[in-house]
């Protein structure tokens, strides 16, 4: 995402994998499988503790992009998608007097 300046899609991931495969260190090797480890995005509904506003994570653009990436990669040849679980730990704020806009989801992927 940092390199592209946007959320990557499945084609971006495939292009990066192809770039790596072309490395001289891998010359003469056959590709068996590309494992893509991630967690399905959180789809919880959270309540902001300051102003009481609701945040439906499944309605966000980030959720839709993430689901699209994982679903598309699962269907691509040579890719094996392995999904962990994402746990919502509540909301966290920035280190100053809190305002409603300061609270963002606190997500953590469980190790499996």
pLDDT tens column, 66-87: 999 999 999 999 999 999 988 8
Has this prediction a pTM greater than 0.85?
no
82: part of which helix (H) or strand (E)? strand 79-84
Split at pLDDT 50, 70, 90, the class of 9 is: very high
- Is the Cβ–Cβ distance between 39 and 85 less than 8 Å? yes
**How many other C-beta atoms lie within 10 A of the C-beta of residue 98?**
15
Q: Closest Cα to residue 92, out of 103, 107, 81?
A: 103
- Is the Cβ–Cβ distance between 65 and 19 less than 8 Å? no
pLDDT score of 85: 86
Q: What is the pLDDT of residues 12-49, one digit of tens each?
A: 999 999 999 999 999 999 999 999 999 999 999 998 88
Residues 6+ apart with CB under 8 A from 81: 36, 38, 70, 73, 74
């Amino acid at each position: 995402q940092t390199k592209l300046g946007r959320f990557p899609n499945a084609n971006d991931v495939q292009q990066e994998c192809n770039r790596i495969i072309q490395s001289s260190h891998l010359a003469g090797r056959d590709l068996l499988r590309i494992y893509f480890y991630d967690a399905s995005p959180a789809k919880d509904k959270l309540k902001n503790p300051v102003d009481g506003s609701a945040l439906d994570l499944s309605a966000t653009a980030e959720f839709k992009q993430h689901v699209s990436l994982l679903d598309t990669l699962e269907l691509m040849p040579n890719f094996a998608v392995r999904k962990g679980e994402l746990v919502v730990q509540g909301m966290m704020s920035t280190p100053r007097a809190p305002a409603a806009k300061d609270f963002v989801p606190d997500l953590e992927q469980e190790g499996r």
